[in-house]
Amino acid sequence: MSGTDIMTHFETVLRPDPSRTVIRPFDLADPSAFAIEGHSRAQRIVDRILTLEEDDLRIELKRVVSSLKERHLDVEQALLRRFEEVGGLTIDRSTFSKDKALLVGAYFSAEYSFESAALFNPSILLHADQSELPENTIRFGMSLRGIGEGHVSSVTFRVGTWGPDGVTIDAPSAMVVSPRIESVDGEGDGALTRIHCPGARNLSEVVLFPVTPSQRQGIEDLRLVRFVDDDGTASFLGTYTAFNGSTARSELLRAKDFRTFEMQPLKGSAAGGKGMALFPRRIDGRYVMLSRHDNENIWLLTSDDLTVWDKGVRIIGPEYFWEFVQMGNCGSPIEIDEGWLVLTHGVGSVRNYCIGACLLDKDDPTRLISRMTLPLVHPSPKERDGYVPNVVYSCGALVHNRRLLLPYGVADSFTKFASVHLDDLLAAMK
């Protein structure tokens, strides 16, 4: 695969960390042929727990809680909440001591390693805290897609810095806060779900693990953007793919403080696919979105409602050998002096995924000014192997002082970083 040679590639690599886990429900039921009416499997398990002598119960509870506290905050609250959630029990919960309730909650919980298999497809934003940094250095926050057992995707976060010496990623906290549903507004498929990661002290302690039916199999490829409305109000928004195991759809995330999040499905004929990316501001009073809802081309959509997306205009299609199969975006457009910089992905022979770029007119983003004829980043012979071979992919980049920082996933397995000066990037377009 040939491409441009204008990127500076950094040595920093982010790999999966199996020690990072969430506490999730462990639901148990009888096969239908063995179900006993009025005496569920859950009830039988609780009956066995109640046979423990008090000393044995305390010993086992101490072991369990001590182990979980090594990498989870609010362990007792999580176990007590799980005790209240367990169904199929014919018990008076009010008669249970706190210790018994905690142990029952533990038996119906499991640790899930949400990034044990892969850590890739990053999105990146300028961090709110830019204090105590060396000259010409910035701090950023990242979202990444983690994959664990059963190919379930979650969103995990990191914080890092970028400066003259390259990219450095802060060591993530040993603790992780399991997300909980705080409220649900509305009913059915269109409900807005508010989730909270209580007690999270920094971004790396937050994880967005699937909590709604539409996300059962994963929250994929979050594309974060700092959106500034016409009145100057700024908010952090993101589009992601919710996958329930059989169907995928696009949903919208609002990050209130990166501890509380709102998740809501997008509606309209263009919202049933993957890879939607929101522009960071309105254009002519309307919200603007990139999409690839035909699974082949990049489309531009406009709407008066942030959650409803229909029709659109096809603005970029496959033209060069490395994108003959299909195209899409690699994150939200970035506004620069020359126009809207869009990182693209193209799929070519042997399902090679490459990253390219194009420039759209600032006032009329349906107008393509220029595009790359060769890939900006492509799978290299040394880094082609992984969970999905021959893939490089990103969900967002960052521009600072006329330089682009591009984090990107490799082989759906791990994450690397590269940068390029905007002048060199624009010069590579035609």
Does position 273 have pLDDT exceeding 90, yes or no? Answer: no
Percentage of residues in the chain having pLDDT higher than 90 = 88
Predicted pLDDT at 2: 64
Mean pLDDT of 259-281: 94
Predicted pLDDT at 28: 87
Predicted pLDDT at 35: 83
Mean pLDDT of 94-110: 96
For the chain, state the CA radius of gyration.
24
Residues of the chain with CATH 2.115.10.20: 8-19+114-427
**How are beta strands 234-243 and 326-329 bridged, if at all?**
unpaired
Alpha-carbon span 64 to 169, nearest angstrom: 32
Does position 243 have pLDDT exceeding 60, yes or no? Answer: yes
CATH of domain 8-19+114-427: 2.115.10.20
Report the largest interatomic distance among the alpha carbons of the chain, rounded to a whole angstrom.
77
Predicted pLDDT at 323: 98
Q: What is the mean pLDDT of the chain?
A: 95
Does position 196 have pLDDT exceeding 80, yes or no? Answer: yes
Mean pLDDT of 300-317: 96
Does position 1 have pLDDT exceeding 60, yes or no? Answer: no
Contacts of residue 323, defined as CB under 8 A and 6 or more positions apart, other chains included, come to 344, 346, 347, 348, 354, 356
Alpha-carbon span 182 to 204, nearest angstrom: 20
Judged by average pLDDT, the poorest of 33-42, 262-271, 322-331, 360-369 is: 33-42
pTM as predicted: 0.94
45-77 pLDDT, tens per residue? Answer: 999 999 999 999 999 999 999 999 999 988 999
Mean pLDDT of 241-253: 95
Task: Judge whether 403 and 421 are in contact, CB under 8 Å.
Answer: yes
Predicted pLDDT at 189: 77
